[in-house]
Structure 1
Amino acid sequence: MIPEKKITFADSVRGCWLGKNIGGTLGAPFEGQRQLQNVTFYVQKNLAGNPEPNDDLDLQLAWLVLAEYYGLYRLTPRLLGEYWINAVIGPWNEYAVCRWNCQTGFYPPLSGAVDNDVWKWSNGAWIRSEIWACLFPGDPDAAIEFARLDACCDHAGEGIYAEMFTAALESAAFAEKDLRKLIAIGLSKIPEDCRIARSVRLVCDCFDKGEGWIDARNKVVADSEDLGWFQAPANVAFTVLGLLYGGGDFGRTICMAVNCGDDTDCTAATAGSVMGILLGAEGIPEEWKKPIGDKILTKSLNHFNLPLKTPGSVTELTDRVLALQARTASEFPRPRPTDLCSAEAAAALWNKPAYELQFDISFAKIAVEYPDGPLVEPGKRCPLRIRLDPIASMPEFRFRWRLPEGWRSSRTEFCVSGQIYCPTSAETDLTPPDDLADVMSYITLEITSDDRRFPSHVIVPLRLRNSVIHPRFKLDQESARLEEMIRLAQEKAQKYKERKP
């Protein structure tokens, strides 16, 4: 049970980040090991105030910097995609897929949904939800809005639902201390029939029936066997298992999350952050805090390509999050939620299209939706939906495709009437030539209006189907291969540096 104790907001925020650092450090040595573990404390010999660097925290530092620099409500899918290219250097799985997709013009949410079948339900998103919870304490509907924006960079479907679940649970934890109520709030923000909800309910059922934690863990593994390792449904469930069976004890909770196996740094780090919010930094036992100290170490960011310096300590991170939260609450006040379990706002997020690109032109917001996805085949029609949200009422907006040789459209030109505050849409399509061989094609859509004497243009990217493959390394080879690639790149850079006059 979580002790009934008055905890300040600042201490809960600090506890969140301390718990994240502690859990990530505890679980790091066992990451990717699928068997049961028997961990009771850090296994590193001498941490001496140096926690393990963890991408779970790294990307949240980047998003904090962007929110500070641009403003939280000015974060857009395209902006996150640009900084993913510039500043996120982690080479792993969905991170690399996102970078490649953005580099080819497939900005979020396309970057998480296209050619990402292996990793779109994986763990990269829900592990970075704490920043949104801390910026919207006690307001899970606001937290999940940004969690969805974040997660769609490199995930789709269950991968997005996973971050919405953890962001909602963590946000609510600032206002509610009953763990079962927190889980219910998290579940209310994701579809009832999704795999995340199924895995979480399975753990709750086992706990309610008095079954042991190992039995619960084994049932989760069996239920997720069709998905394979490093997938969100099982690992979110392992996190919830640690929270339930940990009984309010910080150390027992994070150790139990690790002992379930698989993505252990993620499960323990998220369990640690939830416990940190509930207990506050002062409530985390000193034996867990002292070995890692206050420092933050990173491994997956290019700091030189971020507009501001990232926090170097938990203290600095806490202070900057508190400042941004206060500024945002002052500039964009929101009414206090009366029903934390309402699914109304969440359902609107579930229904957002996964295959969409957004553009800002001078007089309107334009969205290009690909109902069947942006992958094309020679000679086959690709349907498109153009959505228009103008800044003022205008009698007519004219759209015209600037088609390359061999490309066709059943609606090369079309018109839409635009009214302010009344978004509208039009159906169109593109058909590539029968001999299409280019991996990427970029088609220009020209937009004009009655009272603008100049055209605006958006570039619509399309990709040849089955032209991109992201190989899946075997688990026992992946780390070694990546380390060898990094070593060779470093050697090459050093030789180049030595040759320079």
Structure 2
Amino acid sequence: MFGQTTPSEEKINIEEFRDKMLGCWTGKNIGGTLGAPMEGKREMTDVSFYVQELGGNPAPNDDLDLQLVWLLAVEQRGAYRLNERMLGEYWMRYISGPWNEYGTAKGNIVNGLYPPLSGFCNNEKWKNSNGAWIRSEVWACLFPGAPDEVMRFAWLDSCVDHCGDGIYAEIFTAVLESAAFVESDVRKLIDIALARIPADCRVARSVKLAIECHDSGIDWRTARNRIVEESADLGWFQAPANLGFVVLGLLYGEGDFGRSICISVNCGDDTDCTGATAGAVLGIISGRKNLPQKWIDPIGNAIRTVAVQNYQLYVPATLEELTDRVIHAKVQVERENPTLPRLTTGPTRISEAFRERFGKAGEAAERVLARSSRALGFDLPWGLLTVEYGTSPVTAPGETQRLTISITECPHDNRLACFNWQLPEGWTMNPGPSQALQCKQRMTAFLAVEITPGEFSDSVVYLPVRLRLSDRRSPLWLAVPFQLRGAVGQEDLVYSEWYKDDEDRLFARRAEKLFLK
């Protein structure tokens, strides 16, 4: 797949890796269980240990169980055969949670707005929220010590139900956690992750504010309030502030596991997510063997699900079973990409030159950040066709927009890809409904057109496109979707306005989770 490559000289001892990964999942369960009772509270809290009766089991948490879906996709398809549309199909089959961005993504996919459009369209309220960065650990465990490479999969994952800062948030956590397998300095890890998201995005602003407050000697409670104020225009349950709370826990906790997760949780808001991610990061750094036993004993090693269909998902019963499955998948990923750091029975060996590259994003990372959430891809037998909307597939009659059509990965030189758009009456295209694009090996061919919708015959119109390669007689048919603005309602399943207060909202979400369990 990667042509002529030189196998990586960077090695990670498999037993150390297993202990760190088991620490990751254990810390995830601990932090998520600690924060579960406070989820949705907008005020600061003051917990120092679990407040609920646990009976030896963790609280069920979508933060972990969503990742089981991606693990299955890697096991069945191979990591480097995955694309965003394929992950969207796994989403539709296995993820049952209907709330917020999860449900919006499903509704979009039903209407043909496949990833990444499923995270971009009809998702203004939740596009920057927390559903993606909370599920980054599986990618970090599959790509340990590979911060540039893990970005690719964080993007594929997060674009299913997010765009903008919702995507940058998962890139941030996936990079930080991937690097944590070979770097234990928290401040360096934060800098490594910051180097791989846009410097002016809202996630970066919150993280930098947390760092500034810490370095200025401001107490964590004051720092928390400053982060809340800085993100006030986004509202609650949004990624920038909550990732700021994770960073506060990591910085102000000063390496103390219990203190760190408690600070993140006590900041309020999406507390199960902040506690779970802070716990996962510290679990990777310390390994399971160095986590405080007092935090492990009340919840044990079980996995409890809440947002996935267990049938045919092969849910592991324990964290140990999950860890062993991911190790098996990691070995598979190494076969697909031999340039990654490799597991070995010998000592861990990560060169200084390799570590130095962590400080700056490489070309692969830049390509990830350049990807558009307004693009719809079509796998062809002879390449990849992408249609990028200038504004959005959600539009209205008379609104002209630019479409950029591109073909990549074509193995043939000097062939014409001939397009013929079957436009409904009243729809127009400039320079016309027929175009041709010259394809060349190892190059990307571009074509720009303008389209102006006429009247919509339905809430969603699928424009048929006849596509033929110049030396092939048989055509391919594609369907390019356009949705009439305002014709598809977005029901807020959890936080509807009829809830009287935050307590009602929280009760409704918990009731849904219990029902779906």
Q: TM (normalized to structure 1)?
A: 0.92
Instruction: Provide, for residues 277-328 of structure 1, a one-character-per-residue CA deviation record: whole Å limited to 9, x for no partner.
Output: 0110001111111111111010111123x5x512221001100111111221
For residues 129 and 273 of structure 1, the distance between their equivalents in structure 2, rounded to whole angstroms, comes to 10
1:189/1:341 contact within 8 Å kept: no
1:350 aligns with 369
For residues 452 and 474 of structure 2, the distance between their equivalents in structure 1, rounded to whole angstroms, comes to 27
Q: CA deviation at 1:453?
A: 1.4
- The structure 1 residue matched to 2:328, chosen from 323, 341, 349, is 323
Q: TM (normalized to structure 2)?
A: 0.89
For residues 386 and 247 of structure 2, the distance between their equivalents in structure 1, rounded to whole angstroms, comes to 37
Instruction: Provide, for residues 135-167 of structure 1, a one-character-per-residue CA deviation record: whole Å limited to 9, x for no partner.
Output: 111111111111011111111111111111111
Unpaired stretches in structure 1, ≥5 consecutive residues: 1-5, 491-501
1:374/1:462 contact within 8 Å kept: yes
Unpaired stretches in structure 2, ≥5 consecutive residues: 1-13, 342-353
Q: CA deviation at 1:49?
A: 2.3
Say whether 1:399 aligns with 2:419. yes
Pair 376,68 (structure 1): closer, same or farther in 2 beyond 3 Å: same
1:3 aligns with none
The AA in structure 2 aligned to 1:14 is L
- The structure 1 residue matched to 2:390, chosen from 353, 364, 371, is 371
2:345 aligns with none
1:42 aligns with 50
SS at match of 2:359: coil
For residues 466 and 341 of structure 1, the distance between their equivalents in structure 2, rounded to whole angstroms, comes to 45
Pair 209,167 (structure 1): closer, same or farther in 2 beyond 3 Å: same
Q: CA deviation at 1:404?
A: 2.7
1:496 aligns with none
Say whether 1:459 aligns with 2:479. yes
Pair 216,482 (structure 1): closer, same or farther in 2 beyond 3 Å: closer
1:478 aligns with 505
SS at match of 1:248: coil
1:170/1:277 contact within 8 Å kept: yes
Q: CA deviation at 1:211?
A: 1.2
2:395/2:483 contact within 8 Å kept: yes
Pair 150,408 (structure 1): closer, same or farther in 2 beyond 3 Å: same
Q: CA deviation at 1:482?
A: 5.7
2:187 aligns with 180
The AA in structure 2 aligned to 1:141 is D
The AA in structure 2 aligned to 1:288 is W
2:71 aligns with 64
Q: Which has the larger displacement, 328-337 or 367-376? A: 328-337
1:109/1:354 contact within 8 Å kept: yes
Q: CA deviation at 1:24?
A: 0.6
Pair 95,248 (structure 1): closer, same or farther in 2 beyond 3 Å: same
For residues 382 and 180 of structure 1, the distance between their equivalents in structure 2, rounded to whole angstroms, comes to 44
SS at match of 1:35: coil
SS at match of 2:234: coil
1:396/1:450 contact within 8 Å kept: yes
- The structure 2 residue matched to 1:123, chosen from 125, 130, 142, is 130
% identical equivalent positions: 47
For residues 509 and 178 of structure 2, the distance between their equivalents in structure 1, rounded to whole angstroms, comes to 35
Say whether 1:161 aligns with 2:182. no
2:146/2:178 contact within 8 Å kept: yes
Q: CA deviation at 1:399?
A: 0.6
SS at match of 2:189: helix
SS at match of 1:347: helix
SS at match of 1:399: strand
Pair 264,487 (structure 1): closer, same or farther in 2 beyond 3 Å: closer
Number of residue pairs aligned between Structure 1 and Structure 2: 481
1:376/1:382 contact within 8 Å kept: no
Pair 482,239 (structure 1): closer, same or farther in 2 beyond 3 Å: closer
- The structure 2 residue matched to 1:26, chosen from 34, 40, 43, is 34
Q: Which has the larger displacement, 466-475 or 395-404? A: 466-475
SS at match of 1:404: coil
Q: CA deviation at 1:484?
A: 6.9
Pair 377,320 (structure 1): closer, same or farther in 2 beyond 3 Å: same
For residues 469 and 341 of structure 1, the distance between their equivalents in structure 2, rounded to whole angstroms, comes to 44
SS at match of 1:461: strand
For residues 394 and 349 of structure 1, the distance between their equivalents in structure 2, rounded to whole angstroms, comes to 28
For residues 95 and 335 of structure 1, the distance between their equivalents in structure 2, rounded to whole angstroms, comes to 32
Pair 464,477 (structure 1): closer, same or farther in 2 beyond 3 Å: farther
Say whether 1:432 aligns with 2:450. no
2:344 aligns with none
- The structure 2 residue matched to 1:94, chosen from 75, 82, 101, is 101
The AA in structure 2 aligned to 1:422 is M
1:7/1:280 contact within 8 Å kept: no
1:367/1:386 contact within 8 Å kept: yes
For residues 288 and 192 of structure 1, the distance between their equivalents in structure 2, rounded to whole angstroms, comes to 36
1:110/1:355 contact within 8 Å kept: yes
The AA in structure 2 aligned to 1:413 is S
Instruction: Provide, for residues 439-479 of structure 1, a one-character-per-residue CA deviation record: whole Å limited to 9, x for no partner.
Output: 10000111111221100111101111222342552544434
Instruction: Provide, for residues 197-221 of structure 1, a one-character-per-residue CA deviation record: whole Å limited to 9, x for no partner.
Output: 1111111111111111111111111
Q: Which has the larger displacement, 7-16 or 401-410? A: 401-410
The AA in structure 1 aligned to 2:168 is Y
2:6 aligns with none
Q: Which has the larger displacement, 396-405 or 257-266? A: 396-405
SS at match of 1:442: strand
Say whether 1:237 aligns with 2:247. no
For residues 50 and 206 of structure 1, the distance between their equivalents in structure 2, rounded to whole angstroms, comes to 36
1:35/1:261 contact within 8 Å kept: yes
For residues 293 and 405 of structure 1, the distance between their equivalents in structure 2, rounded to whole angstroms, comes to 63
- The structure 1 residue matched to 2:23, chosen from 3, 12, 15, is 15
- The structure 1 residue matched to 2:379, chosen from 357, 360, 364, is 360
2:306/2:516 contact within 8 Å kept: no
2:146/2:340 contact within 8 Å kept: no
SS at match of 1:177: coil
The AA in structure 1 aligned to 2:437 is V
Matches within 5 A, 1:168-207: 168-207=175-214
2:265 aligns with 258
